[in-house]
Chain A
Amino acid sequence: MTAMNGQGGVWVFSEVYDLTLEMLGKGRELADKLQTELSAIVIGNNVQDKADELVKYGADKVYLIDHSALERFQAEAYLGIIQNLALKSHPEILLIGSTRNGKPLAARLSTRLDAGCVPDCIRLSIDDKKRLVGERITYGGNAIAKITFKSKPQVATVPLRAFEKPEKKDHNGQVVKSDFKVEPAKTEVVERKPLETSSVRIEEAQSIVSGGRGLEKKDDIALLQDLAKILGGQVGCSRPLVEDRKWFTDWIGLSGHKVKPKLYIACGVSGVIQHVAGIRDSKIIVAINKDPEAPIFEVADYGVVGDLYQVVPALRDALKKMLQ
């Protein structure tokens, strides 16, 4: 335990700011348990303000790498920077945001540091041997595995919204401007098309009305939208509506978006385990399905065996009346 000279410690990094904050919340807990320092790495262009703010979210130290060439995520550049910081200061735990860019970054960093990596941890703790223990969904949603490390550093990746964003408060910490070399890129992004985000991200939705194979035609999505509107929520779907029918571009499930709304209403969704793994943390799950044997009923708080074409409008009308 060598907190005072900056050796050891818990580090967090994500190119997504909100995810950095969520990991700082959990990271603080882990660092306190180990009686060590919590550090964050901030890489970008004009990000001094963000670095300062991270101290208020609990960081004892913020490594700031601020340069106009680092505006956007670049795999090799970011990787080289974090690797060099880690080689210099030897963190014992590295939490990396599990985004589409962050996860491969964590994998490559682990390889360079000769470290083990546990991806997509939905829970993290320290065991009585002071090892990090990560819990992740595995076997296609059939199991939650508890995994620990046999060597250091211990690298874990953390998905968005797995942990609560901490409260901002007064905290003593320092921002350290760090030197860096930009490692040359091996790939070139020739075009970048932002996705249309017409509404809030589905991970943020408080209620979700989702459709599955039970929907007969694309226009019927309007039924779900009507219900979602009353609830102030969003519409989602299961994978067949993306893969087979191409009605949506994104699905909810283990390989898609993992959501945890207050209310999840599954309409005509059979409830295969991969889908269920993506909705597990919802507060209340409602299932509407014609098939009384559909597995979705096993994981629902409220189930209606019936035709979604009748039940969904009836629920919408009843809610409308009650909410007036």
Chain B
Amino acid sequence: MKQAVDVSQLKVDPATRQLVTAGAPKKISDFDKNALEESIKIREKNAGAEVFTLTVSPEDAKVVLREGLAMGADKAYCVVDPAFQGVDTSGTSYVLSEMVRKVGEFDLILCGDSSLDSFSGLVGPRMAELLNLPQITSVKKVVVEGDTVIAERSLEDAVEMVKAKMPALLSVTREINQPRIPSLMMIMKASKKEIVAWTLKDLNIPAEKTAAKIEVLEALAPKMERKKIKIAGETVEEIGEKLAKALLQEGVVGR
């Protein structure tokens, strides 16, 4: 689970077009909530199963971890290290994979298909590669049968049913479910659950493994130079005509 910038609350400095990310509110990346919800559903159907969340973050992520536990995760693992500032998908996936190895045996890893803020969609497949797992992306439905997982995935021009032997890694879309909202009772129960915090040293991860291979040169609010002409009129017919005329003059009407 990623602690992501809540993009709906981001502000832009109008003079510089810079985003004001310092102090911007953070939350669990939306898709990751879907992944957690689906894991909990799978656990509900499989007695004895457990759900663990894994998080890496450059700064304290307790709020996010607690929310995951309140939703129903059994245990949370995190690596919080300021060294993660500026880490790219290569480093993130490496650390997450090492965390998976340290946690031990598992049947399924579920990730969000992309994150809310950076929207890269690379960490899941990169982890699958590092852990040598079957991977299924863009998943909108999952069924677990014995040691096999069957997932429905959306492509641009088709829907595929894909089967893999577990352990496997799935990346899920928003369509897969509606994440539950934890009740007060669940929130209280979650405060007793365990959060395991590791350092990079605990995982024996050398610095070069988290060194970024890419570098963000700038991130600026896009210029949207639009005409912003308001069309009004006495009657709706007049408005229709004015608008139609304007569109004809723009040369965007007609085949």
Q: Tell me the A residues contacting B by CB distance below 8 Å.
A: 75, 99-101, 103-108, 110-112, 114-120, 133, 137-151, 186-195, 197, 206-207, 231-232, 243, 254-255, 262-263, 272-274, 276, 280, 283-286, 297-306, 310-311, 313-319, 321-323
A-B residue pair count with CB separations less than 8 angstroms: 262
| Chain B positions 118 through 141: 1 when the CB is less than 8 Å from some CB of chain A, otherwise 0 | 111111111011100111111000
- The interface residues of chain A lying within 8 Å CB-to-CB of B164 are 186-188
CB pair A195–B230 under 8 Å, yes or no, is no
| Chain B positions 219 through 255: 1 when the CB is less than 8 Å from some CB of chain A, otherwise 0 | 1111010111111100011011101111110111111
Q: A323 with B253: in contact, given A107-B122, A110-B126, A302-B231 (CB under 8 Å)?
A: yes
CB pair A319–B12 under 8 Å, yes or no, is no
Chain B: interface secondary structure?
mixed
- The interface residues of chain B lying within 8 Å CB-to-CB of A147 are 214-217
Which of A186, A262, A302 touches B246 (beta carbons < 8 Å)?
Answer: A302
CB pair A315–B227 under 8 Å, yes or no, is no
- The interface residues of chain A lying within 8 Å CB-to-CB of B214 are 116-118, 147-150
- The interface residues of chain B lying within 8 Å CB-to-CB of A149 are 213-215
Which of B120, B156, B253 touches A231 (beta carbons < 8 Å)?
Answer: B253
- The interface residues of chain B lying within 8 Å CB-to-CB of A285 are 226
Residue of B nearest to A300 (CB): B226
Which of A144, A150, A303 touches B212 (beta carbons < 8 Å)?
Answer: A150
Q: Does B162 sit at the interface, judged by CB under 8 A?
A: yes
Which of A141, A143, A189 touches B220 (beta carbons < 8 Å)?
Answer: A143
CB pair A190–B222 under 8 Å, yes or no, is no
- The interface residues of chain A lying within 8 Å CB-to-CB of B12 are 142
Q: Tell me the B residues contacting A by CB distance below 8 Å.
A: 5, 7-8, 10, 12, 19, 21, 88-90, 93, 114, 116-126, 128-130, 133-138, 150, 153-164, 168, 171, 174-175, 211-222, 224, 226-232, 236-237, 239-241, 243-248, 250-255
Give the CA-CA distance A232 to B253 in the complex, in Å. Answer: 9
Give the CA-CA distance A83 to B107 in the complex, in Å. Answer: 28
Chain A: interface secondary structure?
mixed
CB pair B236–A310 under 8 Å, yes or no, is yes
CB distance from A273 to the nearest CB of B (A): 7
CB pair B157–A263 under 8 Å, yes or no, is no
- The interface residues of chain B lying within 8 Å CB-to-CB of A302 are 227, 229-231, 243, 246-247
Which of A194, A254, A297 touches B119 (beta carbons < 8 Å)?
Answer: A254
Which of B122, B163, B175, B243 touches A188 (beta carbons < 8 Å)?
Answer: B163
Residue among A106, A206, A255 with the highest chain B CB neighbour number at 10 A: A255
CB distance from A292 to the nearest CB of B (A): 9
Which of B118, B150, B168, B255 touches A232 (beta carbons < 8 Å)?
Answer: B255
**Besides the known contacts A146-B217, A297-B230, 17 further A-B residue pairs in the complex with CB atoms under 8 A apart:** A103-B137, A111-B93, A111-B129, A117-B214, A139-B219, A141-B7, A142-B7, A145-B217, A192-B160, A231-B253, A243-B175, A283-B252, A284-B250, A302-B227, A302-B230, A304-B230, A315-B243
